[in-house]
């Protein structure tokens, strides 16, 4: 499908499902366990209604929003999406360019397939970096150093992945470390030749560029992916690590994944500049409330 002909998000959804093999599509589409969290995220928005007020001059609309001392064109941004190049080669920087052109923020995933330094060249004023804390704290500290030296203005620490979630679609498809793809996944992928051509043309498994320096010299993309799996999630990460990151990072620091008002208050007390209320898209704790449900309590607590 030519995406220029898509008239809504569902059109794009169907186009993606046609193009991508199940192992890739399920990675984007799926939650974990029974996927109640995914359903709750959708239902949380559907429960809210928009009540219009009419006979108001709307000839000129101003959607600008100020955040962290910068004015953006709209109160929206592009959140972090891991392994984006598996779905479309070069996707990370395409998203960064789109955010720059639309004048909205873009958050590079901690498991991106482009580097912090490349992001800084493409979208220096709009690019943020998402930090997943590593078991080896020196890796985390070096990622912060690189983000600082690249000149990016905002670091976003994601804290809602203390352990790996049981993403059952990925397990069934064999998308885990080490890779254990099933025969049916291989056969199903053959039904998506355009994706396979792109995948092979671009070298197969995408490289986690930001993690490459911490692997052995000449490590393959699979070896680097194994390193990421060994280093994250850091189940021993605590508020003490957050305090250390705050000391190392001199610019705007956001914390992503907060759902409890008490955690929000503590984050602010320890120097967070912003909070992202998030249940990780329903991909980490299936019984967690949706972000829409959690937001009012946190807003009430911290203002």
Active-site positions read 280
Per DSSP, 157 falls in state E
Name every residue whose Cβ is closer than 8 Å to that of residue 111 and which is 6 or more positions away in sequence. Answer: 82, 83, 132, 208, 228
Spacing of C-alpha 208 from chain mean position: 14
Read off the tokens for 108.
Answer: 């590079």
Name every residue whose Cβ is closer than 8 Å to that of residue 161 and which is 6 or more positions away in sequence. Answer: 132, 232, 233, 257, 280, 284
Angle of the 22-29 helix axis to the 9-19 helix axis, nearest 10 = 150
| Rounded Cα gap, residues 122 and 94, in angstroms | 9
Name every residue whose Cβ is closer than 8 Å to that of residue 247 and which is 6 or more positions away in sequence. Answer: none
CB 264 within 8 A of CB 275: yes
Q: 3-class SS at 22? A: helix
Cis amide prior to 9 (ω within 30 degrees): no
Number of H helices, E strands in the chain: 13, 7
Neighbours of 58 (CB within 10 A): 7
């Amino acid at each position: 499908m030519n995406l220029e002909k898509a008239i809504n998000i569902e059109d794009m959804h169907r186009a993606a499902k046609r193009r991508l093999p199940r192992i890739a599509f399920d990675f984007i589409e799926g939650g974990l366990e029974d996927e109640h969290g995914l359903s709750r995220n959708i239902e949380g928005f559907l429960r809210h209604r928009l009540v219009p007020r009419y006979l108001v001059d709307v000839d000129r609309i101003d959607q600008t929003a100020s955040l962290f001392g910068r004015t953006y064109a709209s109160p929206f941004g592009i959140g972090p999406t891991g392994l984006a190049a598996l779905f479309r080669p070069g996707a990370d920087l395409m998203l960064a360019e789109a955010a720059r052109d639309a004048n909205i923020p873009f958050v590079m995933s901690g498991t991106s397939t482009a580097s912090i330094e490349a992001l800084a060249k493409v979208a220096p004023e709009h690019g943020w970096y998402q930090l997943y804390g590593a078991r080896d704290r020196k890796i985390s500290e070096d990622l912060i150093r690189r983000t600082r030296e690249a000149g990016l203005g905002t670091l976003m620490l994601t804290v809602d992945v203390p352990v790996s979630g049981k993403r059952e679609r990925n397990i069934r498809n064999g998308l885990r470390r080490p890779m254990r793809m099933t025969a049916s996944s291989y056969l199903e992928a053959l039904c998506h030749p355009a994706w396979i051509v792109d995948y092979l043309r671009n070298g197969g498994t995408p490289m986690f560029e930001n993690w490459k320096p911490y692997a052995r010299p000449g490590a393959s993309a699979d070896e680097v992916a194994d390193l990421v799996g060994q280093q994250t999630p850091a189940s021993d990460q605590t508020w003490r690590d957050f305090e250390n990151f705050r000391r190392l990072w001199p610019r705007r620091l956001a914390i992503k994944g907060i759902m409890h008002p008490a955690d929000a208050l503590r984050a602010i007390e320890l120097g967070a500049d912003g909070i992202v209320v998030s249940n990780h898209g329903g991909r980490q704790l299936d019984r967690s409330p949706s972000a829409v449900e959690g937001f009012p309590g946190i807003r009430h607590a911290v203002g």
